[in-house]
Amino acid sequence: MANFILRNAEPKDVSDILRLIKELAKFEEMEEQVVLTEKELLEDGFGDHPFYHCVVAEVPREKQSEEGYTVVGFAMYYFTYDPWIGKLLYLEDFYVMKEFRGYGIGSEILKLLSERAVKTRCSSMHFIVAEWNKPSIEFYKRRGASDLSLEEGWRLFEINKQSLLKMSAK
């Protein structure tokens, strides 16, 4: 199967996007952490001030998945800023349904995003990967990615909403 298209996500795609987000979270063993809703995806991605951008991979009706889906992959990204080099493209989520892998969909999505990064004057594309996710790490390293956590010692930290409220009340 070689037929698929990549296109910008539209409001009608939010239910497929959420389905794919949950599938990826399940693979990352963190399914219960997904609290985002279709309504929030719609408001935050397609309102006056989008917080994210999204591309989807779609197959023709005759190639639909076992459950009848034609949207079979997605990538969500947004622009961030590095005070040393300027604009960056940050890849937040990137997923292709299992039965549609091996056809180059993932590679094509990555290339499309790289092209967008270069066209919009981004110096770099950043993303995070779980260290146990060997297939993904190999996929990215084969294409020239560097692991900044290993090479430079960067560790990712998080302060949750509860602690934020506590800090801002002082």
Partner 1 sequence: MNFIIRAARPEDCKAVERMIMELAVYERMPDQVKISHKELERDGFSQNPFYHCLVAEVPEAHKSTEGHTTVGYVLYYYTYSTWKGRCIYMEDLYVMPDFRERGIGKALVASIAKVGTEQQCMHLQFSVLDWNKPSLDFYMSKGAQDLTAKEGWHLLRFDGVALIKLAQEAP
Binding to partner 1 in span 94-113, by CB under 8 A: 108, 110-112
Phi-psi sector, 60: left (phi>0), alpha (psi -120 to 50), beta: beta
Burial class (CB in 10 A: 0-12, 13-18, 19+), 120: exposed
Binding to partner 1 in span 132-161, by CB under 8 A: 132, 137, 140, 143-150, 152-161
- Residue 1 touches partner 1, criterion: CB under 8 A: no
Candidates 7-15, 63-71, 124-132 — which segment interacts with partner 1 by CB under 8 A? 124-132
Contact present, 1 and 54 (Cβ < 8 Å):
no
- Residue 8 touches partner 1, criterion: CB under 8 A: no
- Site size toward partner 1, by CB under 8 A: 74
CB of 33 to partner 1, least distance (A): 5
Residue 49 C-alpha from the chain's centroid:
19
Binding to partner 1 in span 38-67, by CB under 8 A: 40, 44, 51-52
Residue given tokens 């959420």 in the structure block = 18
User: Applying CB under 8 A, which of residues 19, 23, 25, 65 lies at the interface with partner 1?
Assistant: 25
How far apart CA 25 and CA 73 sit, in angstroms, is 14
- Considering only CA atoms, which of 75, 130, 65 is closest in space to residue 97? 65
Candidates 8-16, 23-31, 56-64, 65-73 — which segment interacts with partner 1 by CB under 8 A? 23-31
What amino acid positions are annotated as catalytic residues?
Answer: 140
